[in-house]
Amino acid sequence: MRSKAPVTMSLSSGKGGVGKTFIAINLAACLVQLGKKVLMIDCDLGLANVDIMLGLNPTHTLKDIAFEEMTAREVLLRTQGGFDLIAASSGVKEMGQLLLENIDRIKTAIQEIAGDYDYVILDTGAGISETVLQFNLFADRNIIVLNRELTSLTDAYATIKVIFQMFGKNRFDLIINSAPHAEEALRIFNHIDSICRRFLGFSLNYLGFISHDESVPRSIMKQTILSLAFPQSPPGVNCTALARKINESFLDRPESGQKIQADGPVI
């Protein structure tokens, strides 16, 4: 048992299709490359896809924890990225409509093994369902992923607003995915940050961005981890830099009203 508590982080998005699971997998692999022990949990309970993206065929999933009372260690998988995975099920109606007691059973199972790891990554579903909100409440840090689409930005803001209003959380870390360049990623971040400061009263923390690059869909189709298969590609470099930034225990947020400039530190 480790003496230091792990960092538990949720990766969420307002809408689907923004690359949240891709980022979660690559962050996990990059943190392992930094010498850290990482547990990833697919918390998209009814439409799981982490195992598919990794080319795995799990025998047991979170469903067995929620309904069969199996332990987390009994369902663990070791991945090609060196991190452990608790997979979820796909197309199982019961998992998409979990009762709070089933969610609590999953949380308890995670807590029982979390001390074995440096980082626990929760890849949640998109949107603001009760299950997504509960895993965001469970996490120490809430990372929101968005891209250039207007609906991605508006839905990301809605997600932040609901988590803040329901749980009082006012610290959110943002990753901009599929950005053409650093300046565009910063523009998107500064836009949503200004909205949050104006209407919610707090600023956001910019973690960085992932470059738009054809190596991303290629790695997904091949069921490989981009940061390991193509580490020198722009997205591979971005993922490594994101992991390093996270491993520094997250940089402090700018003071209220302070914008990050495009010529400042960029990953």
Q: pLDDT tens across 193-225, in order?
A: 999 999 999 999 999 999 999 999 999 999 999
Note the pLDDT of residue 92: 61
Domains within the chain, CATH numbers bracketed? 7-247 (3.40.50.300)
Place of tokens 């225990």: 249
Which of 92-96, 176-180, 183-187, 213-217 has the least mean pLDDT? 92-96
Q: pLDDT tens across 20-60, in order?
A: 999 999 999 999 999 999 999 999 876 778 999 999 999 99
> What average pLDDT does this structure show over 104-111?
93
Q: What percent of the chain has pLDDT over 70?
A: 88
Q: pLDDT tens across 217-267, in order?
A: 999 999 999 999 999 999 999 999 999 999 986 433 333 333 334 333 333
- Is the whole model's pTM more than 0.85, yes or no? yes
Nearest to 142 by CA among 116, 112, 166, 115: 166
Give the residues across from 176 on adjacent strands: 146, 209
